[in-house]
Amino acid sequence: MSLGARVAIAIMKKDLLLEFRSKEGFLSNLFFCLVVLLLFTFGFDPSSDALRQGRAAIFWIAIAFASVLTLGRTFQRESADQAIEALSLLPLDPGWVFLGKFLSNLLIIVLLMLLIFPLFVVFFDLTVTWRFWLFPVICLLTALGLASVGTLFSAMAESSKLREVALSIMMYPIIIPVLIVAVQLTEQAIKISGDIENWHWLTLLLVFDVIFLTAALVIFDYVLGD
Amino acid sequence: MRAFLLALLYPAMLLALYCAFIFAPREKEMGEVQRIFYFHLSAAWLCMLAFLILFVFSIVYLATGERKYDVWASSSAEIGVIFATLVLITGPLWAKPVWNTWWTWDPRLTTFLILWLIYVSYLLLRSNMAESDKKYKISAVFGIIGFIDVPIVFMSIRWWRTIHPVVITSSSMNLDPAMKTALFVALAAFTLFFVVLLDLRVRQQWQDYEISLKSVDL
């Protein structure tokens, strides 16, 4: 295995370890996501149809909030002891550092989605059908989009005095297409009759992922270090 | 050249006002409110121009690392945001009497709103970073990503909205000749205005930069 790939895997493992072992890591995010998911329901009359119609949107907005928390930590934890400088001094294409960070974010976000989903099924009273197989696919493709844009922006947000706020204001307008597509596809996955339709949404999600993952890999060089 | 442009700008603006309010005929169905269209469209054209300039100079900055390209990019972004705000103000003013609603989630309107959000966050991002090459690089990166995102946003919203009936169809170019003249005069005057503003802001930022260099020397 090349040095670059080994570095990327080492960074990914280190970040995953920190996420799962620290108190401010994954568990807090998971809980935060659940709280947001439930909080939204209080904005609706539970006996009306509005909650049923908005449930996919509520799920994805909760995920978007919780993901930004995870993404915000990506480079924050490298600020202690100028670890970020050390990373930028590696005799490698910075794209490998990006790849390591990106993979750890991707795994964490996918896991977050998959763990929140059963709770979503319970609280929003979904009927389990064969269409649910579509859901992991949506999660993976959505997480690819969130993690590619988010990892890049997280490195950028470190230079701003606003930090997490900077990440949010950069990220949300850019990922609007991802959220729209995720909601539309989720509607298809959780409906109780008929075939899955509107496959073109999946194409759009793929296009977003490919464009932004490529752009982030190419451009990351400019945002790491000084 | 600068004095000439400025001398040209005043009569051009007056001419644009004259054409829009007096020369162009009153629209039969919409009435006087239609006249806002000349400025609305001109402002919208300038945002597109401004954000294209931001995109191009962001790439040039990353490629060359020369400060002046960042000055061009950021100046253009500031002016673009002003005109985008004008578009978002003049649009609803026109839409309320004509469509009987301030706002509709039509693909073009929604995309424009998101465009505005993206470029306001560009300015916010810039204003919260210490002056350094890092800041200029990060701004350039965001300028590029924001521009790439716009077509994807447009596609997604077009599909999103086609689920529901489309309320507003795209307007055709079937304008009265006098209206066309008024529109082109307004477009030309606004473009001239943009050039003057951009030149002014670039010079101002550049002087700012030179002063900061001198104060470091002292």
pLDDT in tens, B40-95: 989 999 999 999 999 999 999 999 999 999 999 999 999 999 999 999 999 999 88
What mean pLDDT value characterizes chain A?
90
Give domain status of residue B133, yes or no.
yes
Q: B139 lies in a domain? A: yes
Cβ separation B125–A156 shorter than 8 A: yes
Confidence at A210, pLDDT banded by 50, 70, 90: very high
Give residue-wise pLDDT tens across range A143-183: 999 999 999 999 999 888 887 889 999 999 999 999 999 99
- A199 vs chain B: nearest CA distance in angstroms? 12
Q: What is the mean pLDDT of residues B165-173?
A: 50
Residues of A in contact with B124 (CB under 8 A): 162, 166, 169
pLDDT exceeds 80 at position B174: no
Residue B38, domain member (yes or no): no
**CB A71 within 8 Å of CB A148:** no
What are the tens digits of pLDDT across the range A35-85?
Answer: 999 998 888 877 778 888 889 999 999 999 999 999 998 888 888 888 888
- The mean of the pLDDT values for chain B is 88
Q: Which residues of B touch A (CB under 8 A)?
A: 62, 114, 117-118, 121, 124-125, 128-130, 132-135, 137-138, 140-142, 144-146, 148-149, 152-153, 155-157, 159-160
Taking CA atoms, what residue in A is nearest to B63?
A222
Residue B114 has phi, psi (to 5 degrees) of -70, -40
Q: Which domain holds residue B74?
A: 49-166
Query: Chain A residues with CB inside 8 Å of B59's CB?
Result: none
**DSSP-derived secondary structure for chain A:** --HHHHHHHHHHHHHHHHHHHSTTSHHHHHHHHHHHHHHHHTTS-TTSSHHHHHHHHHHHHHHHHHHHHHHHHHHHTTTGGGHHHHHHTSSS-HHHHHHHHHHHHHHHHHHHHHHHHHHHHHHTTPPP-GGGGHHHHHHHHHHHHHHHHHHHHHHHHTTBTTTHHHHHHHHHHHHHHHHHHHHHHHHHHH-SSS----THHHHHHHHHHHHHHHHHHHHHHHHS--
> Considering only A74-78, B60-64, B148-152, B175-179, which range has the smallest mean pLDDT?
B175-179
Considering CB atoms only, which of A152, A160, A176 is closest to B125? A160
User: Is a pLDDT exceeding 70 seen at residue B168?
Assistant: no
Please tell me which residue of chain B has the smallest CA distance to A149. Answer: B145
Nearest to A143 by CA among A77, A86, A68, A217: A68
Q: How many CB atoms lie within 10 A of CB A111?
A: 18
Residues of A with CB under 8 A from a CB of B: 149, 152, 156, 159-162, 166, 169-170, 172-174, 176-177, 180-181, 184, 200-201, 204, 207-208, 211-212, 215, 219, 222-223, 226
Residue B188 pLDDT level (bands cut at 50, 70, 90): very high
Q: How far apart are CA B146 and CA B161, in angstroms?
A: 22
Give me the mean pLDDT over the A95-110 stretch.
Answer: 95
Q: What is the pLDDT of residue B162?
A: 61
pLDDT higher for A205 or A161?
A205
Q: CA torsion angle for B187, B188, B193, B195 (degrees, to 10)?
A: 110
Of A156, A161, A208, the CB nearest to B138: A156
Q: Which residues contact A65 (CB under 8 A, 6 or more apart)?
A: A32, A33, A36
Q: What is the mean pLDDT of residues A114-135?
A: 91
B27-39 pLDDT, tens digit per residue, is 777 788 888 888 9
Q: List CB contacts of B104: < 8 A, sequence separation 6 or more.
A: B95, B167, B168
Is A215 close to B148, i.e. CB distance below 8 A?
yes
Residue with tokens 């005057």: B189
Residue B206 falls within a domain, yes or no? no
**Is B111 part of any domain?**
yes
Q: Which of A169, A204, A211 sits opposite B156 (nearest CB)?
A: A204
Which range among A42-51, A92-101, A209-218, B207-216 shows the weakest confidence by mean pLDDT?
A: A42-51
ipTM, two decimals? 0.88
CA–CA separation, A199 and B97 (whole Å): 39
Total of domains in chain B? 1
B32 vs B29: CA distance, rounded Å: 9
